[in-house]
Structure 1
Amino acid sequence: MSAAGAAGDTVLSRVEGRLGRLTLNRPRAINALDHAMVNTLRSALAAWEDDDAVSAVLIDGAGERGLCAGGDVRAIRASALDGDLRAAAFWRDEYLLNAHIARYAKPYAAFMDGVVMGGGVGVSAHGSVRIVTERTVLGMPETTIGFVPDVGGTYLLSRAPGETGTHLALTAGSVGAGDALYLGLADHFVPSDRLPGLAAALADAASAGDAAEVVGRFAEAAPDSELRGRRHWIDSCYAADTAEEVVERLRAHGDPEAARAAATVLAKSPTAVKVTLAALRRARELPGLEAVLEQEYRVSCAALASPDVAEGVRAQVVDKDRSPKWVPDTLEAVSDEDVARHFVPAPDGPLGLA
Structure 2
Amino acid sequence: MQDSEVIIERRGAAGIIRLNRPRALNSLTLAMIRAIAEALDGFARDADVAIVVATGEGERGFCAGGDIRALHESARAGDGLAGTFWREEFRLNHQIAVYPKPYVALMDGITMGGGVGLSAHGRHRIVTERTRLAMPETGIGYVPDVGATWLLPKAPGEAGTWLGLTGLDIGAADAIHAGLADVQIASSRLGEVIDALSTLPRGGSSIDVDTALQAFAEPRGESRLRQNVAVIDRALCFESVEEILAALGREEGEFAAETRRVLLTRSPTSLKLALHLLRAGRRSASLAECLGRELGACLQMLHNPDFFEGIRAAVIDKDRNPKWSPASVEAVKAQTVEKFLKPAEPPLLL
What's the TM-score, normalizing by structure 2? 0.97
For residue 159 of structure 2, the aligned residue among 153, 157, 164 is 164
Q: How does 1:107-256 map to 2 (within 5 A)?
A: 107-207=102-202, 208-209=204-205, 210-256=208-254
Q: How does 1:313-324 map to 2 (within 5 A)?
A: 313-324=311-322
Name the counterpart of 1:352.
349
Q: Could you list the per-position Cα deviations for residues 146-194 of structure 1 after superposition, in whole angstroms to 9, with x for gaps in the alignment?
A: 0000001111111111111111111111100000000000011111111
Name the counterpart of 2:47.
52
Name the counterpart of 2:326.
328
Gaps of 5+ in 1: none
Q: Which runs of 4+ in 1 moved over 4 A?
A: none
The alpha carbon displacement at 1:79 in A equals 2.1
Q: How does 1:300-315 map to 2 (within 5 A)?
A: 300-315=298-313
Give the 3-state SS of the residue equivalent to 2:215 in structure 1.
Answer: helix
Give the 3-state SS of the residue equivalent to 1:332 in structure 2.
Answer: helix
For residue 101 of structure 2, the aligned residue among 83, 94, 106 is 106
Q: Could you list the per-position Cα deviations for residues 56-111 of structure 1 after superposition, in whole angstroms to 9, with x for gaps in the alignment?
A: 00000001101001101011111222234211100110000000100100000000
The alpha carbon displacement at 1:245 in A equals 1.1
Instruction: Indicate yes or no: 2:17 matched with 1:6.
Output: no
The alpha carbon displacement at 1:6 in A equals 1.9
d(CA) in 1 for partners of 2:273, 2:80: 21
Instruction: Indicate yes or no: 2:65 matched with 1:70.
Output: yes
d(CA) in 2 for partners of 1:220, 1:10: 31
What's the TM-score, normalizing by structure 1? 0.96
Letter in 2 for 1:65: R
Q: Could you list the per-position Cα deviations for residues 227-280 of structure 1 after superposition, in whole angstroms to 9, with x for gaps in the alignment?
A: 011111111111122101111111121222111111110101110000000000
Conservation of the 8 A alpha-carbon contact between 1:233 and 1:255? no
For residue 262 of structure 2, the aligned residue among 261, 264, 267 is 264
Name the counterpart of 2:22.
27
d(CA) in 1 for partners of 2:328, 2:71: 24
d(CA) in 2 for partners of 1:39, 1:314: 27
Give the 3-state SS of the residue equivalent to 1:150 in structure 2.
Answer: coil
Name the counterpart of 1:93.
88
Give the 3-state SS of the residue equivalent to 1:123 in structure 2.
Answer: helix
Letter in 2 for 1:77: H
Conservation of the 8 A alpha-carbon contact between 2:239 and 2:275? no
The alpha carbon displacement at 1:297 in A equals 0.6
Letter in 2 for 1:204: T
d(CA) in 1 for partners of 2:235, 2:302: 30
The alpha carbon displacement at 1:352 in A equals 1.9
Q: Could you list the per-position Cα deviations for residues 181-232 of structure 1 after superposition, in whole angstroms to 9, with x for gaps in the alignment?
A: 0000001111111111010010111132222221121112111211011111
d(CA) in 2 for partners of 1:236, 1:173: 19
Give the 3-state SS of the residue equivalent to 1:324 in structure 2.
Answer: coil
The alpha carbon displacement at 1:48 in A equals 0.7
Give the 3-state SS of the residue equivalent to 1:323 in structure 2.
Answer: coil
Gaps of 5+ in 2: none
Conservation of the 8 A alpha-carbon contact between 1:83 and 1:305? no
d(CA) in 1 for partners of 2:108, 2:62: 6
